[in-house]
Chain A
């Protein structure tokens, strides 16, 4: 599995490839519901998080939760203030609900942790995903190094979004 992540040193701004890196060894471990909890930072399902919340909190490691792309706003609000990573599942390329979930997490609920796209994640969506607030991407196929170039394909972004609070007309002199 190829993981791309925004560099910790990168400022929050519109996507460009120099702000991202391919991660070879990920500190986070995705843990199945029936697997024992290892040491270290783990990503668990929402149901496991709910069932074992106390236990997870006592481990002294960071907690990540994997959520579906139709998670309700009240659940997002609760998670935004209590975990370090949220992994949103993209079931297909065409199902765009994760994009709104990401914007809510960033703008409405102030989530500051890592927002990771998992599931059907293809190179040609990375820039859009980055703009709505994702900062890590588990690419479902293809070379992660090649995919970095996609962040530079379009350099003009008309709208404000999670990466940029101002629309183009407030950022640049326009004709």
Chain B
């Protein structure tokens, strides 16, 4: 496997419905993994995690997601975070509750 460097996202579960959210650069919670702020260094990551844990009015289970970034740009996530990123809609398709979209 190509050499990877580590990046970090701060993620959490939305208080209202438990949905997966990521912390945006301007401290908004967003559903899109790609819009989440990927940190290169531990200090900025830890600062955002402290904020995330204190933002109990909006989220719970704040935690850091480790992202391995390969030289070709491919991302490597734990199985858990891969499924969180895929989102709830994929679960229902995979389990047979909904047909995959035709396109």
Do chains A and B directly touch (beta carbons under 8 Å) in the complex?
Answer: no
